[in-house]
Amino acid sequence: DAKTTQPTSMDCAEGRAANLPCNHSTISGNEYVYWYRQIHSQGPQYIIHGLKNNETNEMASLIITEDRKSSTLILPHATLRDTAVYYCIVRVDGLTGGGNKLTFGTGTQLKVEL
């Protein structure tokens, strides 16, 4: 699976949009971009994933660049409860190969403040 690069930490004011970048310049054509977050000492929580089109769900939006070498997770109105470590993971679709394994990097520590 391709390697990802994320900033170590970011701050965001409550109520503002949090934009978390991820670089995955070596991504292959059959690799998806997944985002998880881990609130302190809890199990990781799935947020969203995509292949090449932008995706949106009730939690967040995922914007993937046209060349797919980077992506941005957007939390439209961050709250204090969004403070967590956010992981960007690139992996092959398990249905076609890769065995569904997730390789976690160090992620971005997002701190939402008043």
- Dist CA 89 CA 33 (whole Å): 6
- Counting contacts by CB under 8 A, is residue 69 touching other proteins? no
Tokens of 35: 């985002």
| Among the listed residues 5, 80, 100, 113, the single contact to other proteins using CB under 8 A | 100
Q: Which stretch binds other proteins (CB under 8 A): 6-14, 21-29, 44-52, 66-74?
A: 44-52
- Counting contacts by CB under 8 A, is residue 7 touching other proteins? no
- Dist CA 88 CA 7 (whole Å): 11
Q: Which is nearer to other proteins, 27 or 34 (CB)?
A: 34
- Dist CA 107 CA 7 (whole Å): 7
Nearest-approach distance from CB 67 to other proteins, in angstroms: 24
Contact 15, 70 (CB under 8 A): no
Q: Which is nearer to other proteins, 75 or 87 (CB)?
A: 87
- Give the bridge partners for 9, in sequence order: 109
- Counting contacts by CB under 8 A, is residue 29 touching other proteins? no
Amino acid at 24: H
Query: Which residues are near other proteins by CB under 8 A?
Result: 34, 41-46, 49, 87, 93-95, 99-107
